[in-house]
Amino acid sequence: MYLATAAVIGVFPILSVGLITGRAGIITLCQLSFTGIGAWSVAALNAAGYSLPIGLLILLGGLAAVPFGLLLGLASLRLRGINMGIVTLMFAAAAAAYFQLYPLPGLSAGKVVDRGAPFESDSAFFWLSLTVLALVVGVVSLVSRSRTGTSWLVVRTSERGAASLGLPTAVAKLTVFMVGAAVSGVGGALLIAQTGVVSGDSFGILPSIVVFTLAILFGARFIEGAILGALASVVVPQLLLAAGIPNDIGTLIFAVTALPALRTGYGMAEALRARLARRSNNNPAPDGRRESKRSISRDRSRWRQGTEPVHTDDRVLPTAVEATPALSILDLSVQYGSVRALDGVTISVPSRSVVAIVGPNGAGKSTLVDAVAGFLPGYTGEVRLNGTNLDGWQAHRRAQAGLRRTFQQVRATADLTVQQYLQLAAGRRLDRDEVDAVLDFVQGPTARSLIANVDVGSRRLIEIGGGLVSEPAVLLLDEPAAGLPSSESELLGERISLMPSVFKCSVVVIEHDMTLVHSVCDEVTVLNFGRVIATGSPKHALSDPLVVSAFLGAE
């Protein structure tokens, strides 16, 4: 019963790593420090003579760790990858030093934490621990399914991708650290309630690294992975003990077996789930639709006519172009060191229009999209959306305001289904008809497909669909046809030209495919060496001698 309780308590810090590293992709090597903080706080309350009910002590143990989680969350706003690993390791070292200097209160006096009347027996305490675990897992899974919780997965894939969906990466990182710390802290409170007194050594650097290793090895992003990890942490040392093998060999076994998971980023639970998802993806959905484009393509004609709006509201083509441009870029300049990537670029995108920005490689197109969408804060000039000045606004705020973008390199989160991604991009509840309609429009895969299982071209279409369901004022498409075969690129061109009427938005397309530009755009702006060298209708602008010379390198 004692070992079973230890295994239950062991789930907390492993699950906590599963949230921070497994879900949000941030390395954390100090999860047992949070456990120690939880235990220390409960010990301090006990030593001070407060006799609080066990439920309250557990809650306080969790809450005590939250400010420290926030602190590390703040560090993660500036640091990434191995640097974050080092900072969390330093935090673990500092916490371990603290626990050495200031042992858990009551430890030396043997003042054990009192669990209270109904939980004095080991079996009662086991059931209490299991109940607390079930509650924590319930809360964590609710939070994980919320918009904030889903944003943890998006941040893991790409911070820029998250911002482009209107998700503030700072909120995602801070919340995941605070929730992770609380989960670990609850484990600490239970641990000290189980053992009565705990030595600070239990929360040292090495045990923290073992917890990290177990979380990666078993895929603690999912609860079954955290449970398997905790079971292994209890069972393996017992087996080694029974076989007369030194306990440290267990750590070595975990380290070696975790190597493949560290390489791929997928632990056992994740690999198992991915396999099951692939299997179910190969089976037809209950509604008979497979993840095949052929079944969707039959609907081409209705969209070609442009008669069927995605929403059943009054989306119709306006009779006159509205006076205020949807997007105004005024005298925009960007300097990268000695390279002037953009030099006084002025572009006006009329309401409900399709405007292309073209230019040879290195002309400044991507820089322009990055600056306009808020990913390059250091520009000079002005960006206005429907007359509102966006300068100084962060990328996620611009996205929330209706300025959406897609990327040359797709960033749709592989762990989500297409429907979940669209939901997140929309920032509101979408009903299934709405999801299916937009997927039909962009010729995307079915709503239930896992993004990990669809090809790059389809992911690009999903990203475009995500932009559209967010009801943007302006959608910036960075090379949307890249990677699509020419027949699909042609079809995408048709859809782009329909976007202003169907989705009431303006579209800015960065594209190298001149056939597509000619067929879908109302206006073209040509950049070369960061300057606008021509603007006007595609026919007029693309035949300008300056433009021909810029593209062909001839007089």
Beta-carbon contacts of residue 139 (< 8 Å; ≥ 6 apart):
none
β pairing state of 380-385 and 388-389 = antiparallel
Does 361 interact with ligand ATP (rule: CB under 6 A)?
yes
Of 226, 327, 341, 372, which one interacts with ligand ATP (CB under 6 A)? 341
Q: What DSSP element (H or E) covers 11? A: helix 2-17
- For CA atoms 357, 358, 361, 362, the dihedral sign is negative
- From CA 450, how far away is CA 445, in angstroms rounded? 9
Q: Does residue 339 belong to the site contacting ligand ATP (CB under 6 A)?
A: yes
Out of 88, 366, 406, 417, point to the residue binding ligand ATP (CB under 6 A): 366
Kindly tell me which of 416 and 476 has the beta carbon lying closer to ligand ATP: 476
List 306, 362, 381, 483, residue binding ligand ATP (CB under 6 A): 362
| Binding flag, residue 365, ligand ATP (CB under 6 A) | yes
Residue 288 is encoded by which pair of tokens? 């008979």
Q: Is the sign of the CA dihedral 231, 234, 238, 239 positive or negative? A: positive
Using rule CB under 6 A, residue 359 touches ligand ATP: yes
* Span from 300-308, 363-371, 417-425, 441-449 in contact with ligand ATP (CB under 6 A): 363-371
148 versus 408: smaller Cβ distance to ligand ATP: 408
What is the dihedral angle through the alpha carbons of 314, 320, 326, 329, rounded to the nearest 10 degrees?
170
**Is residue 495 at the binding interface for ligand ATP, with CB under 6 A as the rule?**
no
Whichever of 33 and 366 has its CB closer to ligand ATP, that residue is 366
Report phi then psi at 338, rounded to 5.
-90, -5
Q: Which three-class secondary structure string do you get for 456-515?
A: HHHHHHHHHHHHHHCCCCEEEEECCCCCCCHHHHHHHHHHHHHHHHHHCCEEEEECCCHH
**What phi-psi label fits residue 167: left (phi over 0), alpha (psi between -120 and 50 degrees) or beta?**
beta
Q: Are 165 and 424 in contact (CB under 8 A)?
A: yes
Stretch that binds ligand ATP, among 186-194, 360-368, 414-422, 535-543 (CB under 6 A): 360-368
Side by side, the strands of the sheet bearing 327-336 are 339-349, 327-336, 380-385, 388-389
Q: Which is nearer to ligand ATP, 159 or 291 (CB)?
A: 159
Specify the residue, 127 or 551, whose C-beta has the smaller distance to ligand ATP: 551
* Residues in a beta bridge with 95: none
Assess contact for 384 and 347: CB atoms under 8 A. no
363 binds ligand ATP (CB under 6 A): yes
| CB 369, min distance to ligand ATP, A | 8
Residue 552 C-beta: closest distance to ligand ATP, Å: 16
Q: Is 409 in the site for ligand ATP (CB under 6 A)?
A: no
Q: Does 367 interact with ligand ATP (rule: CB under 6 A)?
A: yes
Q: Applying CB under 6 A, does 499 fall inside the site for ligand ATP?
A: no
Which region, judged by CB under 6 A, interacts with ligand ATP, from 26-34, 84-92, 335-343, 489-497?
A: 335-343
- Which of 336, 485, 540, 543 is in the footprint of ligand ATP by CB under 6 A? 336
Q: Which is nearer to ligand ATP, 14 or 345 (CB)?
A: 345
3-state secondary structure of 405: strand
Site residues, ligand ATP (CB under 6 A): 336, 339, 341, 359, 361-367
